[in-house]
Structure 1
């Protein structure tokens, strides 16, 4: 697959937020992204490995890839961005809340107050998402929002992860809610194991490699682009 680098976004500190679009275009796109939380290096690594593999394939899939959304947090090793905002609580969902149970979930002064999410929404407006694949790290789980339980089961058969349509606590302003409700677009949130579980980045990728590659090898994405 051939990818073109899109006009980059700008973080709080003025760092580039890179995004890439496939040469193949369409009415809807598969989004692949990581680094919403800057300290979740496992997800960034998995997306990088998958992105490099996709570049070697001959697929004709409309895609947008965002390797790291929270570039400042990634550089600093923090969950939040440089304003101390959790980008996964800052999207303009109907359920957005100004209060947070912990500082690490701070949703910002207002929905979409952060430049990183403003850039993400601009991409969504220009390249309509049909399916969003976002990779995090916490505990092994395949979380799905919207009509994609079948895809969650498909992946769980390959990585052995638990499937859930709810991670057990409220996530107002999250991408899962924004995508599935605001955009009517299914969102798959993959929670990889963390390095604190005494697992290497290479091992995280190895246990997820077939699950991710088979989405494309078996054309599991197709129905989301109709």
Structure 2
């Protein structure tokens, strides 16, 4: 499948944020992204494998936008937060956004969309409106769904046996899950991989999720969102 590179964004440290779109025309798009939190390398690796497969091995009639790494500064530093110390998954302009925080890793920034990474993400959403968003993270294995996409979560869980939930278990004001599903009317799957500190390798994380991701993309289950 052929992808075209979209206009890039910039991080706090002026590094390039790449995004790619395939040549399937649509008024709404399926988004796949990773690296919102820079220390979650497992998700970054999974999307690297997905994107390689999409580019080299398959032709899919789905309008796709792929953002391989959102928080490049965080990936380079090995930190959850960006170079301003902001959690990008608490910085989106939801009605529930809060400026108060107790732990530095949840710093939401001085205002919604204060961070260049999220400004770029929101710009993409306006130019290429999302119909469904898959954001790949790592924490403890769980498939968290916001909006009407429980069936997609169940499909993935059949392969990896991860639990599914419509609530991650703690408040996430300013998160993509809320912003996408409520403000943009685009269901969001926040896919949490296991982390390498549990003794698993990034390649093993990919191997236990490869079949599920590929079925999700090829089965036609995502077409109902368009």
Q: TM-score if structure 1 supplies the norm length?
A: 0.98
Superposed CA offset, 1:22-63 (max 9, x none): 111211110000000000000000011001111121112110
1:45 correspondence with 2:42: no
Whole-Å separation in 2 of the counterparts to 1:173 and 1:104: 14
Q: Where in structure 1 do 4 or more consecutive aligned residues deviate above 4 Å?
A: none
In the alignment, what sits opposite 1:34?
34
SS at match of 1:189: strand
Whole-Å separation in 1 of the counterparts to 2:204 and 2:21: 28
Whole-Å separation in 2 of the counterparts to 1:101 and 1:45: 30
Q: How does 1:87-106 map to 2 (within 5 A)?
A: 87-106=88-107
Superposed CA offset, 1:147-173 (max 9, x none): 001111111111100000011100000
In the alignment, what sits opposite 2:138?
137
Superposed CA offset, 1:73-113 (max 9, x none): 01111000000000000000000000112110000000000
Whole-Å separation in 2 of the counterparts to 1:47 and 1:86: 20
Whole-Å separation in 1 of the counterparts to 2:137 and 2:218: 22
The number of aligned residues is: 225
In the alignment, what sits opposite 1:71?
72
Whole-Å separation in 2 of the counterparts to 1:71 and 1:25: 28
Whole-Å separation in 2 of the counterparts to 1:169 and 1:190: 16
Whole-Å separation in 2 of the counterparts to 1:90 and 1:30: 22
Whole-Å separation in 1 of the counterparts to 2:218 and 2:184: 26
SS at match of 1:221: helix
- Cα RMSD, aligned residues only: 0.6
